[in-house]
């Protein structure tokens, strides 16, 4: 069977699923799940990904997200490699954790986001142990399942800060008590009626109406599956503005940042990657180093910020500066 197409562009919306290698667990306990969600939150911030839903199961996970910068592959590489490294260290193992490539379905947001979110949230009761349970029992289990975004959709007190709830609840009357109740009612109706969404997926990788599918096919007809440079740069901040923001907040002149040592230069590298859309070799050229030095510097910065709250606050100040 041919592999499903990988289609990326700014603003694309996906359902993504990753399964454990050889169908083995990817989460052994709650510590693993908490760690995964920490890495997921960090990765969403680093790659400017908007997260709408997630469900963590024992042997796989589902996430529903939007990529304003068209960078799903980079985001998933970072998420899976970072979590695999953490998992392997903790459980004293080596090798792959996930089974091959992740599976992604490109989604027409306006028409299918609400329906797809419900399909994802139903996963915990779609396993054999719960399929034959009474509907009321399955609904109660879903409502209390802690490794899902569903509790936050029906009860605002149970939300996590790195998930965007408004888009999907907009289809149910908004992010209000009434809208949250309507979403819960729709979940219970799905449990009663057993709705399936898989038969609406085209070419193993696209979920949308005819117009949406046709537009994707036209996008793929070109000789190269790349976006024009102007589109590719949409949503990024210029190198000059990023370096000036670092200069304004640190007191180091913009022209001297490339030669600065320690955290200031590492901050600039991370911001050029995160907000400028530059790759390791491009950042290395700015600082006169190779791409491996850039990668190591960004990793060291993360460790420094975890230990130094002042450095973390400086990063937030610069990002706030760039957002104005």
With CA atoms as reference, report the closest residue to 274 among 324, 323, 248, 237.
Answer: 237
Per-residue model confidence (pLDDT) at position 75: 95
232 against 303, higher pLDDT: 303
Beta pairing partners, 14: 65, 106
With CA atoms as reference, report the closest residue to 59 among 92, 110, 84, 24.
Answer: 24
Per-residue model confidence (pLDDT) at position 2: 45
Per-residue model confidence (pLDDT) at position 5: 56
Per-residue model confidence (pLDDT) at position 63: 98
Residue 220 has pLDDT above 80, yes or no: no
Distance of alpha carbon 155 from the chain centroid: 22
**Residue 108, SS3 per DSSP:** coil
Per-residue model confidence (pLDDT) at position 194: 67
Out of 80-89, 224-233, 304-313, which region has the weakest mean confidence (pLDDT)?
224-233
Distance of alpha carbon 102 from alpha carbon 38, whole angstroms: 19
Q: Are 103 and 16 within 8 A, CB to CB?
A: yes
Q: How many CB atoms lie within 10 A of CB 59?
A: 16
Tokens of 238: 């210029």
pLDDT tens-digit series, residues 236-279 = 688 888 999 999 988 888 888 888 877 888 899 888 887 887 77
Compute and round to an integer the Cα radius of gyration of the chain. 21
Burial 171-202 (b: 16+ CB within 10 A, else e): bbeebeeebbebbbebbeebbeeeeebeeebe
Beta pairing partners, 35: none
Give the mean model confidence (pLDDT) for residues 156-180.
95
Distance of alpha carbon 309 from alpha carbon 307, whole angstroms: 7
Mean pLDDT of the chain: 86
Beta pairing partners, 197: none
With CA atoms as reference, report the closest residue to 276 among 216, 319, 220, 228.
Answer: 319
Distance of alpha carbon 173 from alpha carbon 157, whole angstroms: 19
Out of 35-44, 81-90, 206-215, which region has the weakest mean confidence (pLDDT)?
206-215
pLDDT tens-digit series, residues 104-160 = 999 999 889 999 999 999 999 988 787 788 888 999 999 999 999 999 999 999 999
Residue 222 has pLDDT above 70, yes or no: no
Domains of the chain: 12-219 (3.30.70.1290), 239-323 (1.10.1750.10)
Q: What is the pTM of this model?
A: 0.71
Q: 103-107 and 206-207: which strand pairing?
A: parallel
18 against 220, higher pLDDT: 18
Give the mean model confidence (pLDDT) for residues 182-205.
79
Per-residue model confidence (pLDDT) at position 198: 64
């Amino acid at each position: 069977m041919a592999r499903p197409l990988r289609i990326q562009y700014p603003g694309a919306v996906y359902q993504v699923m990753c399964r454990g290698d050889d169908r083995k667990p990817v989460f052994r306990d709650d510590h693993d799940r908490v760690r995964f969600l920490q890495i997921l939150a960090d990765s969403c911030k680093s790659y400017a990904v908007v997260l709408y839903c997630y469900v963590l199961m024992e042997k796989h996970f589902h996430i529903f997200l939007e990529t304003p910068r068209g960078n799903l592959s980079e985001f998933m590489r970072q998420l899976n490699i970072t979590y695999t490294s953490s998992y392997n260290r903790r459980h004293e193992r080596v090798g792959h954790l996930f089974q091959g490539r992740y599976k992604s379905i490109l989604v027409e947001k306006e028409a299918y986001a609400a329906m797809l979110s419900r399909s994802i949230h139903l996963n915990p009761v779609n396993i054999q142990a719960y399929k034959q349970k009474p509907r009321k029992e399955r609904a109660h289990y879903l409502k209390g399942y802690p490794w899902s975004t569903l509790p936050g959709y029906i009860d605002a007190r149970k939300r996590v800060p790195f998930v965007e709830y408004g888009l999907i609840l907009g289809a149910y009357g908004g992010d209000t008590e009434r809208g949250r109740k309507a979403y819960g009612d729709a979940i219970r109706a799905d449990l009663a009626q057993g709705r399936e969404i898989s038969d609406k997926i085209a070419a193993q990788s696209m979920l949308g109406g005819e117009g949406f599918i046709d537009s994707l096919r036209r996008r793929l007809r070109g000789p190269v599956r790349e976006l024009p440079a102007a589109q590719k740069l949409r949503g990024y901040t210029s190198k000059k503005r990023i370096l000036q923001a670092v200069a304004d907040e640190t007191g180091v002149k913009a022209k001297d940042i490339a030669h600065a040592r320690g955290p200031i230069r590492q901050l600039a590298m991370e911001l050029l990657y995160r907000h400028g859309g530059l790759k390791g070799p491009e950042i290395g050229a700015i600082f006169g180093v190779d791409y491996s030095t850039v990668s190591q510097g960004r990793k060291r910065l993360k460790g420094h910020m975890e230990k130094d709250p002042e450095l973390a606050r400086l990063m937030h100040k610069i990002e706030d500066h760039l957002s104005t």
